[in-house]
A and B are shown apart, each in its own frame.
Chain A
């Protein structure tokens, strides 16, 4: 694992909104082919971190290097994929029209679009909904369409912000299998979740709360370290320990 390329490296990243601290000096390293799970409760700072790594927000302090470039940087954009926490599709356009627009932004040739879109719609099980307006899809379907839009251009690095919220358990399992398959193809994935069962499937898990990454490791390592049965307990235990330390 150590020879693989480091695709994300964050050092001492801080970010506040007015007086509210969202990230307080955070370090992070993600490698090629890794499925990295950012785990933490609401308001932990997961979305803020991802936005910084995508170049949508500037950190107040510290630096983040993504695919070899200090962000924000235009050069990484064609190689990263971002699925925002919100649906981020045009509700008045059909699934296919949405995909076509974002494909064009990524310079995907028209001939390839058709094939690629079909492939992704099959993956998210929306093939029969390609002509339906996104606004009229169910919540879970909208999120699946959103995921498809983020995968169009075959990014090397994927940021998925709570990709499985509202997705039913069966499809959720198949999506996570797909994430692992992508990782096997050397794609790096940073996935946020607050579900421990999902965290358990990641290669590396980072526990995040109140803007601090207080523990990191494979699920097995984290369980072994704390000697508890579930990641949930591990999260609580490790957070308490880190509070005692500081």
Chain B
């Protein structure tokens, strides 16, 4: 099996070349440091949010004049109506017991459950904060009195807090809507935490955690593709590839040898990236490191295929760089590393689903942030494996052609 001979040789040459070695070791470091220290956020749009509105709309309130009266306020419906439609894609839902599960499954960024007593609780909570309020009831002037006991949580919010940028926007906007709603009821209380927020991931995920898996994938993609393309283009230009392909070695053995070597380099870089981001920035790592290794390995194999293809098209190193800039950078930008894919315009989103990094990024996030097991990332792994296989075949084919036309 000459695959290992070629792989060993490629690794040996990398080890011999201080400049390449530095590139391999320092670039991931640079990436992590840059992103660790300079993270910025913006306003997302079209976050999918499920709302279960069980509100009866009725509020039973104490009055000085009439004892208990029942007001029809429909605050639940009003809240739903007043939600920011640019920020949220609101889905009306009718199974409150399913919602937590579905948010956890990633179907929604948040699930808001307004209980039957929502109007009642909100009205009384407002009175408790604000004190007695004058109003008219059935043509009579009445004074509404605060409740004798506290009403507790008004509603329940299940929040996917694996993306802190999204989390803060959801919580902020919902609180705003509630406050506005109460203000419209003539009472303007300052409600303290009207929502009972259930942060499903313990509220420990930072913005950095969220981008870390993507940045790691991004760094890997750039470095391995550049290394491989330059390395193959150089071998072709110097004639060593010709000499290799004249020897009793199959083109697929050469191609696979390259793939193996650079996939191993990727794993090495991955280890480094994790170590640094964990030690310096305490990046969250909830899932299995072995699963992360598997994802990265499968992804790296696909990258090698792309690199081999690129190296056949590119006549020289300069052209190879151009291809990388034109093809690779955009595909990285849209892969959800820096910006949630949910927050992208539809046409860009479609493109994003064509970029393999999207799947690698998503799988890494699921494992690192949410601690998912292999079944939780089966789809992503499947897509990545299919992609790897296809690219490997195309890569081998192009390597064979290099032999016949070098």
Contact = CB atoms under 8 A, between A and B. Distances in A.
Interface of A: 54-58, 72, 74, 77-78, 80, 82, 84-93, 97, 101-102, 104-107, 149-150
B248 A57 contact: no
Contact of B243 (A74, A88, A91): A88
A236 B253 CA distance: 47
Contacts of B243: 82, 84, 88-89, 102, 149-150
A104 B5 CA distance: 7
Given A54-B246, A55-B246, A104-B5, A92 B404 contact: no
B112 to A, nearest CB: 62
Interface of A is mostly: loop
Contacts of B2: 105
Contacts of A102: 243-244, 247
A93 B13 contact: yes
Among B2, B16, B247, the most chain A Cβ lie within 10 Å of the Cβ of B247
B40 interface: no
Contacts of A78: 247-248
A105 B241 CA distance: 12
B198 interface: no
Interface residues of B, number: 23
A55 B249 CA distance: 13
B403 interface: yes
Interface of B: 2, 5, 9, 12-13, 16-17, 238-240, 242-250, 403-406
Nearest to B237: A86
B17 A92 contact: yes
A106 B17 contact: no
A240 to B, nearest CB: 34
9 contacts: A56-B246, A74-B250, A87-B238, A88-B238, A88-B242, A92-B13, A92-B17, A93-B13, A105-B5
A77 B243 CA distance: 11
Given A77-B247, A89-B240, A90-B238, 10 more contacts: A56-B245, A56-B246, A74-B248, A78-B247, A82-B242, A84-B239, A92-B17, A97-B12, A102-B244, A106-B247
A224 to B, nearest CB: 37
A78 to B, nearest CB: 4
A90 B239 CA distance: 9
A77 B246 contact: yes
Interface centre among B17, B246, B406 (most CB of A within 10 A): B246
Contacts of B240: 88-90
Contacts of A80: 246
B134 to A, nearest CB: 88
A139 to B, nearest CB: 14
Contacts of B9: 101, 104
A241 B244 CA distance: 41
Contact of A105 (B12, B17, B247): B247
